[in-house]
Amino acid sequence: MTNIIEISGITKTFGSHVAVDNLSLAVPEGSIYGFIGPNGSGKTTTIRMIMNILYPDNGSIRIFGEEQTGSNIGRIGYLPEERGLYRKMKLRELIQFHGELKKVPNPGKEADYWLKKFDLEPWAKKKVETLSKGMSQKVQFIVTIIDKPAIIILDEPFSGLDPVNAEVIREVILDLRKSGSTVIFSTHDMSVAEKMCDFIFMIYKGKKVLDGTLQSIKDQYGQDTLLLQTDLGSAALDDIDGIDRINDFGQQQEVRLLPGTDPQKILEQVILRARISRFEMSSPSLEDIFIRIARPEKNNSHE
Amino acid sequence: MNKTLVIAKREYRAAVRTKGFLITLLLLPIFMGGGFIVMAITKDKVDTTDKRIAVVDQSGRLGENLKHRAEERNARDIKDSVTGVKKFPAYYIDLITPDVTDLNGQKLKLSDEVRNKKINAFVQIGPDVIHPQPGKEQSRICYFSENSLMDETQNWIGYVLNDKIREIRVAEIGILPEKVRDLFYWVNMEGMGLISQDTRTGDIKAARKSDVLQTIMVPYILMFLMFMTLMMSAIPLLQAVMEEKSERIAEVLLGSVSPTQFMMGKVIGGLAVSLTTTGIYILGGVFSIKAMGMGDIIPYHVLPWFFAYMLLNIIMTGCMFAAMGSTCNDSKDAQAIQFPAMLPLIIPMFVMMPVIQNPLGSFATTMSLIPPFTPMLMLVRQATQVTIPIWQPIAGLLGVLIFTLLSVWIGGRIFRSCIIMHGKRPKMGLLFKQLMKG
């Protein structure tokens, strides 16, 4: 598999703040690559540099095997994190306008196709300002992918969408990937990242902290996590030794064990207190890994 | 289609299809011509209410004559000789004996009568007006009224009194007044345009009498038109870019186009809007002026310059305003920057009159060769009836061209680095750094 995007050693500073620090990354063609990281960690800055909207201070970005100079942004669909549309334009005209900008052969027809696909036909002649937030999210997605670009970069594509609309967008993303597009998206929803991405890249304080397939990332952390479900909830784990941290989801607890702890010992204690409906050793979830990296200061607490 | 043009097309349609555009298109000529129209209408509407004037004649030799001349005039001059319609007010003179003991008290009383509308004004004729001592109180003639500057009556009285004073002086040196009647006939000098030759027929065209219409209105209208087109095309870019930035439309577009394409698309869209409006006005103006039979006042030779200057001015100003818009985060920022940004357009309006009055003077020449002012001021000078040395408009145009290219370059760089930068508005120093770094 060839790499469609190759980033090597890029750094970007704003004043004294280092937003992206010596970052390297290779995105294979046809993959779905998830960008995760806390707010302000450098995701958007990295994406903007890929888009040639910002220029790295150091390092290089190669896209389609060529140095990024901005000449190839026509082949990239980009959905920024904060996005706006011309509010006074009519919906179909707006989609057609973006189609023309992306040199779609028949922008009007294409606009009709996508309006139908996203159930927006009744609004085709209405002004953008009359749309609900979810609808304009869908419109923004349409104008990003209207020309079925070779690379699709989506900054938080699912934020603010209800499950039905998120489903429609997910389907389109997967369809585009099937037809050969490479997809990069950033998200705060770890379950989406786990389910959709071939590769996951995590950036924290401008530095790359994770990069690889979900499995390879989880393998780094081993089977140190206990998934527990009892009729007592987290109270079943009170005062038990060997626990590093509990992610309490109410019905279920995700328990990180201290190195060297025998899960059998914990099972013995819990079984005396509560009815167990689930007791499973597994590798940590992506969410837990994210929290371990992004909240190191809390790692030692038991809450 | 070229991406820049796609943006320009959208800008153009967004601007032209609004109600605001149509309203401005209609209202602009009214604003522009309003003053002139009112002047033209009121010019012939003379106030014909009769005027009553009190005269305190301390010299004792002028009052009677004034009263007599006023009666003559009332009988002879105030009505149209054919229709009998009253054209001018009648003047009634009341002679008041000067109160030697309390002249100021008398003047106060008369002033109160003016305020109470019993009389319209009063005149005080000093005792020594026939043989005046320059600067002396005794040698003055004063006209007291509520509005003593803009008063036809005052002029008439002044003329009649001086006429009589001259007559008395001439009589005193023993010459018969009839013999020196021509002595005081003032021959007015009339301002004329130059003689020209018709290039086709070879006929010599008679010089036209210069009038206000041509010397002031033609340059004024062209300059105003340029100013208004800028107001409609380039200046709104500041607000529009600011909005696109704050509503985060800019970054979406930057996914498809480069910042330079984006900015130039907007500027070209604005340009197309102004070509539409000026096209309508100039065609409309030419047709209506021709229909009024005044076709020869249209300065056809200036029109190509007008469009050349306008084109460059809109690009120059448009790029600057777009760039400044990109540094603003909200309308407060935009308002703060708008007035200083408009100075290069306002200054030519301020200095327009001196430039029209003396188009060949060194002030006019210098000002019109400063690139930001050139489009308006050089145009004004060319639209006057004076012949400007041909190197000046050419040098001016070259200067504007260089300045325009510079604006595109500087504007593009600022725009590119500021359009997605949110938070605090960048300081001048930072802007300059970005300008250098790109």
The domain spans of chain B are: 51-179, 211-437
Q: How far is A284 from chain B (nearest CA, A)?
A: 37
Give yes or no for residue B235 having a pLDDT over 60: yes
Q: Are the beta carbons of A182 and A29 closer than 8 angstroms?
A: yes
Give yes or no for residue A24 having a pLDDT over 90: yes
Give yes or no for residue B279 having a pLDDT over 60: yes
Specify the higher pLDDT residue, A296 or A28.
Answer: A28
What pLDDT does residue A61 have?
92
Give yes or no for residue A169 having a pLDDT over 60: yes
Q: Tell me the backbone φ, ψ of residue B153, rounded to 5 degrees.
A: -60, -45
Rounded distance between C-alpha atoms, residue B205 and residue B319, angstroms: 45
Sheet holding B51-57, edge to edge: B91-96, B51-57, B121-125, B141-145
Q: Pick the residue from chain A with its C-alpha nearest to B13.
A: A89
Average pLDDT of span B14-27 = 84
Q: Which residues of A touch B (CB under 8 A)?
A: 48, 51-54, 70, 73-74, 76-80, 82-89, 97-98, 100-103, 140, 143-144
Average pLDDT of span B137-151 = 79
A10 CB-contact burial (10 Å; exposed 0-12 / middle 13-18 / buried 19+): buried
Output the six-digit token pair for A177: 């990937």
Q: How far is B438 from chain A (nearest CA, A)?
A: 10
Kindly tell me the number of DSSP H helices and DSSP E strands found in chain A: 9, 14
Per DSSP, the three-state class of A95 is helix
**Mean pLDDT: which of A14-18, A284-288, B108-112, B223-227 is highest?**
B108-112
Average pLDDT of span B252-270 = 88
Task: Choose the CATH number for B51-179 among 3.30.360.10, 3.40.50.1000, 3.30.450.20, 3.40.190.10.
Answer: 3.40.190.10
Q: How far is A258 from chain B (nearest CA, A)?
A: 44
Rounded distance between C-alpha atoms, residue B154 and residue B143, angstroms: 7
Q: Are the beta carbons of B141 and B129 closer than 8 angstroms?
A: yes
Give yes or no for residue B432 having a pLDDT over 90: no
Residue B80, chain A, CB below 8 Å: the answer is no
Q: Which residues of A touch B250 (CB under 8 A)?
A: 84
What pLDDT does residue A301 have?
43
pLDDT digits (tens, 9 = 90+) for A225-268: 888 898 888 888 888 888 888 888 888 888 888 888 888 888 88
Q: Which residues of A touch B420 (CB under 8 A)?
A: 48, 53-54
pLDDT digits (tens, 9 = 90+) for B360-415: 888 999 999 999 899 999 988 888 878 888 899 999 999 999 999 999 888 888 88
Please tell me which of the candidates B252, B256, B258 has its beta carbon nearest to residue A84: B252
Please tell me which of the candidates A88, A98, A143 has its beta carbon nearest to residue B14: A88
**Type of residue found at B411:** G
Q: Which range, of A260-269, A287-296, B212-221, averages the lowest pLDDT? A: B212-221
Q: Which range, of A162-166, A255-259, A292-296, B7-11, averages the lowest pLDDT? A: A292-296
Element housing B19 (H / E): helix B19-43
Residue A93: HSE in the Cβ half-sphere, 13 Å Cα cutoff:
16
pLDDT digits (tens, 9 = 90+) for A90-109: 999 999 999 999 888 899 99
At residue B149 the predicted structure's pLDDT band, cuts being 50, 70 and 90, is: low
Give yes or no for residue B213 having a pLDDT over 70: no
What pLDDT does residue B43 have?
62
**Residue A73 and residue B255: Cβ atoms within 8 Å?**
yes
Q: Are the beta carbons of B264 and B4 closer than 8 angstroms?
A: yes
Would the ipTM clear 0.90, i.e. be above it?
Answer: no
At residue B56 the predicted structure's pLDDT band, cuts being 50, 70 and 90, is: very high
Closest CA to B318 of B424, B221, B248, B412: B412
**Residue A83 and residue B251: Cβ atoms within 8 Å?**
yes
Q: Give the residue from B5, B243, B256, B257 with the most A CB atoms within 10 Å of its CB, the best one to mutate.
A: B256
Give yes or no for residue B209 having a pLDDT over 70: no
What pLDDT does residue B151 have?
72
Closest CA to B299 of B358, B359, B382: B382
What pLDDT does residue B299 have?
79
Q: Tell me the backbone φ, ψ of residue A186, rounded to 5 degrees.
A: -105, 150
Q: Structural domains in chain A?
A: 3-218 (3.40.50.300), 223-282 (3.30.70.100)
Q: How many CB atoms lie within 10 A of CB B329?
A: 16
What pLDDT does residue B435 have?
66
Q: Are the beta carbons of A182 and A150 closer than 8 angstroms?
A: yes
Please tell me which of the candidates B1, B248, B257 has its beta carbon nearest to residue A84: B248
Longest dimension (CA), chain A: 70
Q: Which residues of B touch A101 (CB under 8 A)?
A: 3, 6-7, 253, 256-257
**Residue B244 and residue A77: Cβ atoms within 8 Å?**
no
pLDDT digits (tens, 9 = 90+) for B8-20: 999 899 888 888 8
What pLDDT does residue B42 have?
65
What pLDDT does residue A28 have?
93
Q: How far is B245 from chain A (nearest CA, A)?
A: 9
Q: Which range, of A64-68, B54-58, B77-81, B311-315, averages the lowest pLDDT? A: B77-81
Q: Which residues of A touch B252 (CB under 8 A)?
A: 78-80, 83-85, 140, 143
What pLDDT does residue A303 have?
41
CA distances in angstroms from B399 to A158, B121, B215, B372, B392, listed in the order given? 53, 58, 27, 9, 10
Beta-strand ranges (E) seen in B300-378 are none
Q: How far is B432 from chain A (nearest CA, A)?
A: 15
pLDDT digits (tens, 9 = 90+) for B160-175: 998 888 888 888 888 8
Specify the higher pLDDT residue, B95 or B431.
Answer: B95
Q: Tell me the backbone φ, ψ of residue A132, rounded to 5 degrees.
A: -75, 170
Q: Which own/partner pairs from A188-195 qualify as long-range (CB within 8 Å, at least 24 positions apart)?
A: A188/A36, A188/A156, A188/A159, A189/A158, A190/A36, A190/A285, A190/A286, A190/A287, A190/A290, A191/A286, A191/A287, A192/A158, A193/A34, A193/A36, A193/A286, A194/A285, A194/A286
